[in-house]
């Protein structure tokens, strides 16, 4: 079954269509959610929620852009929503502040397969910059696709990526990380 056929079947409420789309895109959605949210458990939940949203909202997909772009938009919006909610909960005191979770950060880093310092630095980036950077460097998406997925202008995407790299570099340098640690 091709992607278009799967989309059509999914629109008719056929779960088999959704399964095909899930098989095609699950790894990318999972990876992006994992890096955005910082833990594999959150990524699993996000993967489930995102494909549930796909099933419910596939009728809104008009086919103007590639399905993967639409899916990425949904993924980043979902992750940004979660991060925003986390920020509110942290502000209200329902969750611990990230500064107080050094141990948890290092655990996360092991999960991420990165050196703890890089993972920690990635956590400190603003959500939109992080999304742009991960899409570009990890998923190798074009600037145009990122702009479409995040509903940003091309210039804004480029500047977000540039700023994210500079900030990441600055954080790593401040913490005295050597190139071998990365």
Partner 1 sequence: MKKNFKIQDIERALFQLKKDTPEEAVFERVWYKLEDRINSRTHPHHVIWKPWGHPVRWVALAACFCVAVTGAFVQQQTNENNEVASFLVNVSNPMATITRDQNIVKVSALLSDSPSSVPDMSDEVRIDSLASDEIFL
108-147 footprint of partner 1 as x/- string (CB under 8 A):
----xxxx--x--------------xx--xxxx-------
Q: Output 6-14 pairs: Cβ under 8 A, ≥24 positions apart.
A: 7/58, 7/61, 7/63, 7/67, 10/54, 10/55, 10/58, 11/58, 11/59
Tally: H helices and E strands in the chain: 9, 0
Only segment of 61-69, 99-107, 145-153, 162-170 that touches partner 1 (CB under 8 A): 162-170
- Residue closer to partner 1 (CB basis): 13 or 155: 13
**Burial group, residue 78, by CB count within 10 angstroms (0-12, 13-18, 19+):** buried
Q: Determine if 73 is a binding residue for partner 1 (CB under 8 A).
A: no
Q: Determine if 30 is a binding residue for partner 1 (CB under 8 A).
A: yes
- Residue closer to partner 1 (CB basis): 18 or 152: 18
DSSP letter assigned to residue 2: -
Smallest gap from Cβ 42 to partner 1, in A, equals 12
Q: Determine if 60 is a binding residue for partner 1 (CB under 8 A).
A: no
Only segment of 12-20, 68-76, 143-151, 152-160 that touches partner 1 (CB under 8 A): 12-20
DSSP letter assigned to residue 58: G
Q: Determine if 11 is a binding residue for partner 1 (CB under 8 A).
A: no
Q: Determine if 55 is a binding residue for partner 1 (CB under 8 A).
A: yes
Closest CA to 141 of 78, 71, 86: 71
Q: Determine if 106 is a binding residue for partner 1 (CB under 8 A).
A: no
Q: Give how far the C-alpha of residue 176 lies from the chain's centroid of Cα atoms, to the nearest Å.
A: 27
């Amino acid at each position: 079954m091709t992607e278009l056929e799967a989309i059509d079947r999914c629109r008719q409420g056929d779960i088999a269509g959704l399964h095909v789309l899930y098989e095609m895109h699950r790894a990318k959605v999972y990876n992006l959610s994992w890096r955005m949210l910082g833990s594999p458990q959150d990524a699993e939940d996000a993967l489930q929620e995102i494909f549930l949203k796909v099933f419910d909202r596939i009728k809104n997909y008009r086919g103007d852009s590639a399905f993967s772009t639409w899916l990425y938009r949904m993924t980043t919006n979902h992750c940004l929503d979660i991060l925003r909610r986390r920020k509110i909960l942290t502000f209200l005191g329902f969750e611990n502040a990230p500064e107080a979770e050094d141990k948890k950060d290092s655990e996360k880093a092991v999960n991420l397969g990165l050196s703890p310092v890089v993972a920690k630095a990635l956590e400190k980036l603003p959500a939109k910059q992080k999304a742009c950077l991960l899409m570009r460097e990890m998923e190798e998406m074009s600037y145009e696709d990122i702009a479409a997925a995040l509903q940003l202008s091309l210039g804004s995407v480029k500047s977000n990526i540039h700023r994210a790299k500079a900030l990441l570099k600055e954080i790593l340098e401040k913490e005295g990380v050597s190139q071998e640690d990365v």
